[in-house]
């Protein structure tokens, strides 16, 4: 991977008007490029409000093909600014088959690859199993001019398996576009535990695999369309180095282009002093493919 | 698992005279019992100094069978105090086959089970591959009167696979006896990153699996026998709940019987709000048994 690598995570609210919203994201990408960023990450499904707060078949109208109108726009932006962009699109693949898909644009504007979200959540307010067919590409890093990007999406971040498989397949960095927030009904203690757990599990993927991690979340309160409920997206986008050390982190409410430099030669160093990949007991890991061992 | 469960981790130095040292540990177990502890954990290889700082075949004389003289003593203590004890012994299994083995004593003094360290480190000052044959029992929780203990040892803590396999096999709690410390030659920044990484990765196992975690480390500086080097064992033994939240934590130098209560009904609750085990993509995890994907 290029080193040093300047990366930006765009922590932003995602508003209702798609064009206004996309224009806002593109303006932030321009800011990142002005800061000499090589790579910019947008939050998960950044084209609008998080529509999975209820199950409504009209929401399938939000989906679009890849390539399609949004990827055409972002391709042009990537090429113009000579920057790698990680976007997440509600993908219409075929009638009745929709995915939550990360798309990586290389500096020349080409689509370097895509990743279809593998782990699909479903709990009150996050009805993703209704909308998203589980990904079938698997855990494959996307080769770009900067290196191999291990792009995963949101709920994937809770699964050490996903990070490990990306590392074993040669990822140089792990990237998590995210839309996660608090239920305002929960108390402050629960909010803190959830946020800390979210940061902890992603930092742990850095530690376990000796890789830097970028996590990019949205901010803002979004009201559910059909109830009094809603989600307070908690921001806290961050970048961690390959020992899990926080390099930079946003707070829970600021719109921010979070930019920092990553020394990607550190992964090699860290994997020498912490040679976990050497010591995995692969002959005893077979049961990881089981649901449970009754 | 019993709930609430009162558990103690004995953070202690490990001194040269085995009997003095064991007596010290037993006095701490008595303290734990006086605090109504149901379960007490000793640091890894608590019978003496960490002998893996060099490779010396005389050190194999330190090993003993299981059951053997030390387990006989700890069995009696467990029975007398009606307490579950987790100890770690340098096990002599057969000529030329030695293990780093955790032994669990149930309240009746019986050996409930053992776990032979699966992941064996080897780096300067930690020459464990010389001494310890890799475990062949696998990742099996140990059934006790308190519940199923997912006992792992030190280096195992860096491997999410180990924690996951224990969880899938029905562990109610994860327990890490440990001997880990700083190289005094490293600077303060590196010390802090290493300690934070160690706490982060173990908390992440709580998060990923919805289980409480006990980590019990030794303290004190131990000089290497054949060089100017040595290890400053960093303590920081801690107990975390099933969202990775720290319940209690010792500092880097205090001898302490770290005692707290665990509400083990919280695992059920946390696994309902964070149903990761439901969503694992087991059909896509096969490559976890590969060394690397070239």
Q: What architecture is domain A5-280? A: 4-Layer Sandwich (3.60)
Q: What is the mean pLDDT of chain B?
A: 97
Which member of A204, A275, A287 has the closest CB to residue B201?
A: A204
3-class DSSP assignment, residue B24: helix
Angle, helix A160-168 to helix B160-168, in steps of 10 degrees: 140
Active site residue A16: no
pLDDT of residue A56: 96
pLDDT of residue A264: 83
Side by side, which strands form the sheet with B219-223?
A: B181-182, B230-234, B219-223
Size of chain A, expressed as the number of residues it contains: 294
Mark the ranges of chain A whose per-residue pLDDT is less than 70: none
pLDDT of residue B139: 98
DSSP classification of residue A282: G
Angle, helix B18-34 to helix B69-81, in steps of 10 degrees: 20
Q: Are B239 and B212 in contact (CB under 8 A)?
A: yes
pLDDT tens per residue, range B210-221: 999 999 999 999
Q: Are A225 and A204 in contact (CB under 8 A)?
A: no
Give the C-alpha separation, A131 to A24, whole Å: 26
Mutate to test the interface with B, among A287, A290, A294 (most CBs of B within 10 A): A287
Which residue of A lies nearest to B286 if distances are taken between CA atoms? A289
Nearest to A160 by CA among A236, A217, A211: A211
Name the phi and psi angles at A74, rounded to 5.
-70, -30
Measured CA to CA in angstroms, residue B111 lies from A68, B66, B79, B137, B205 at distances of 64, 9, 11, 15, 26
pLDDT of residue B264: 83
pLDDT tens per residue, range A241-279: 999 999 999 999 999 999 999 998 999 999 999 999 999
Give the C-alpha separation, B75 to B84, whole Å: 9
Cβ neighbour number for residue B36 with a 10 Å cutoff: 11
Query: In sequence order, what are the beta bridge partners of B8?
Result: B40, B259
**Shortest Cα distance from B115 to chain A (angstroms)?**
14
A284, B243: Cβ pair inside 8 Å? no
Angle, helix B188-209 to helix A188-209, in steps of 10 degrees: 110
Q: Are B247 and B210 in contact (CB under 8 A)?
A: no
pLDDT of residue B1: 76
For chain B, the structural domain boundaries read 5-280
Active site residue A229: no
Nearest to A50 by CA among A222, A176, A265, A213: A222
Which residue of B lies nearest to A118 if distances are taken between CA atoms? B281
pLDDT tens per residue, range A56-102: 999 999 999 999 999 999 999 999 999 999 999 999 999 999 999 99
Measured CA to CA in angstroms, residue B32 lies from B5, B6, B247 at distances of 13, 9, 17
Is the entire prediction scored with pTM above 0.95? Answer: yes
pLDDT of residue B19: 96
Measured CA to CA in angstroms, residue B130 lies from A174, B121, B123 at distances of 34, 10, 11
pLDDT of residue A1: 75
Give the C-alpha separation, B38 to A32, whole Å: 55
pLDDT tens digits in sequence order for chain B, 294 residues long: 777 999 999 999 999 899 999 999 999 999 999 999 999 999 999 999 999 999 999 999 999 999 999 999 999 999 999 999 999 999 999 999 999 999 999 999 999 999 999 999 999 999 999 999 999 999 999 999 999 999 999 999 999 999 999 999 999 999 999 999 999 999 999 999 999 999 999 999 999 999 999 999 999 999 999 888 999 999 999 999 999 999 999 999 999 999 999 998 999 999 999 999 999 999 999 999 999 998
pLDDT of residue A90: 98
For the CA atoms of chain B, what is the radius of gyration? Answer: 18
């Amino acid at each position: 991977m290029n080193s040093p690598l300047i990366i930006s995570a765009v922590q932003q609210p995602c508003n209702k008007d798609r064009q206004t919203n996309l224009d806002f994201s593109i303006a932030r990408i321009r800011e990142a490029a002005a800061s000499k960023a090589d790579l910019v990450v947008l939050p998960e499904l950044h084209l609008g409000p998080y529509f999975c707060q209820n199950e409504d078949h009209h929401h399938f109208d939000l989906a679009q093909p890849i390539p399609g109108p949004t990827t055409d726009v972002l391709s042009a932006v990537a090429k113009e600014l000579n920057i790698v962009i990680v976007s997440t699109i509600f993908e219409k693949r075929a009638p009745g088959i929709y995915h939550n898909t990360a798309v990586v644009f290389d500096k020349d504007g080409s689509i370097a690859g895509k990743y279809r979200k593998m782990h699909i959540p479903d709990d009150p307010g996050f009805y993703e199993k209704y909308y998203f067919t589980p990904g079938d590409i698997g855990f494959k890093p996307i080769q770009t001019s900067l290196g191999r990007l291990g792009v995963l999406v949101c709920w994937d971040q809770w699964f050490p398996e996903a990070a490990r498989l990306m590392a074993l397949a040669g990822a140089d960095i792990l990237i998590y576009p995210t839309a996660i927030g608090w239920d305002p009904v929960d108390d402050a203690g629960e909010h803190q535990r959830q946020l800390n757990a979210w940061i902890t599990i992603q930092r742990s993927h850095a530690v376990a695999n000796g890789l830097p991690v970028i996590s990019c979340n949205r901010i803002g309160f979004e009201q559910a369309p059909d109830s009094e409920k809603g989600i307070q997206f908690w921001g806290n986008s961050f970048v961690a180095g390959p020992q899990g050390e926080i390099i930079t982190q946003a707070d829970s409410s600021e719109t921010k282009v979070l930019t920092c430099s990553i020394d990607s030669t550190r992964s090699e160093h860290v994997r020498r002093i912490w040679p976990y990949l050497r010591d995995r007991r692969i002959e005893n890991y077979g049961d990881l493919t089981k649901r449970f061992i009754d």
